[in-house]
Amino acid sequence: MNKKLMLVISLFSTLVLSACGSNTDSMGMSDSSISSMPATGEMTVENKISADRSIIKTSSLTIRVKNVEKSVTEAQTLAASFDGRVDDLSQYKNPGSQDSLSANLTIRVPSKNLEASIEAFKKLGDVEASSVSASDVTMQKVDLDARIAALTTSIERFKQLISAATNTADLIAAETALAERQAELDSLNAQLKYLSDQVDMSVIYLSLLPNDSFSAIKPIGFIAGIEKGFVALLNALANLTSILGYAIPWIISILVIVLVFKIVSRIRRR
């Protein structure tokens, strides 16, 4: 009995050890095979994305200049020298003269020339504010590329179905599906083109302001302060005379009404 019991225990131990050994071997092979897998697809995509990132850069500049109109011309020339363009230009003029009070320009330059062009624009005058922002749209571009590729393949298959259609119903269904996919493909291509243009051509929002208002808030000295005080006094007097000019007709009208009222009152008393 004891011999049989010992035999059963030894057989059970042997089976357990062999099972553990085979399990360990299979686990070891699994780990090594996993670690030794090239994973070329995933790494290639990651490397491609990291090597070809799509960044939209936007800059904003506010510059005080001596002559706004002259600086606008210089800014347009600078944009052209960096292979850029002016997409929008707004100038605000003084109603009493032809002098420009300010100007806003939307300029696009190649992304590779953004830093150099910003430094060039800063030389137009005194920089009051400057900022640069960046937005990563790599995943959006990758998604658009994948959807465009899938739609292109689908369209080719539907063209084959149309050419092989044997009845009118199948032909109409295939042509309808093809038209829908072609419209979606055109929309995606337009989105990709717009996104690529935003990446390739960075935007610079340039604001040009005159130096006058800027110098008014800086220390100007005692003599200059007296001069500006006299100018402010003359402007106040000029504004006062204008106000009196507007008020005189109203005063005369009121006096005439009061005089007529008094005359009518006296007549009624008699």
Same domain, 78 and 207: yes
**Average pLDDT, integer, range 199-216:** 81
Question: HSE (CB half, 13 Å, CA atoms) of 43?
Answer: 4
pLDDT score for 218:
52
- Whether 224 has a pLDDT exceeding 60, the answer reads yes
pLDDT score for 259:
86
Could you give the 3-state DSSP secondary structure of residue 25? Answer: helix
Question: HSE (CB half, 13 Å, CA atoms) of 197?
Answer: 9
Range of the domain at 122: 55-135+202-214
Same domain, 61 and 193: no
**Average pLDDT, integer, range 17-32:** 41
Could you give the 3-state DSSP secondary structure of residue 57? Answer: strand
Same domain, 79 and 193: no
Same domain, 183 and 196: yes
- Within the chain, residue ranges assigned H as helices are 2-36, 40-51, 68-81, 114-122, 138-164, 168-200, 211-216, 222-269
Same domain, 145 and 119: no
Same domain, 76 and 177: no
- The 10s digit of each residue's pLDDT in 70-87 is 999 999 999 999 999 999
Within a 10 A sphere around the Cβ of 143, how many other Cβ atoms?
Answer: 13
Q: Do the domain assignments include residue 33?
A: no
- Name the pTM for this structure: 0.55
How many structural domains comprise the chain? 2
Identify the CA nearest to 61 among candidates 133, 134, 128: 128
The span from the CA of 229 to the CA of 251, in Å, is: 32
Q: What is the mean pLDDT of the chain?
A: 78
- Whether 33 has a pLDDT exceeding 90, the answer reads no
pLDDT score for 188:
94
Last-in-domain residue among 146, 176, 200: 200
Identify the CA nearest to 116 among candidates 73, 82, 76, 75: 82
- The 10s digit of each residue's pLDDT in 90-102 is 988 776 666 778 8
- Whether 206 has a pLDDT exceeding 80, the answer reads yes
Same domain, 209 and 90: yes
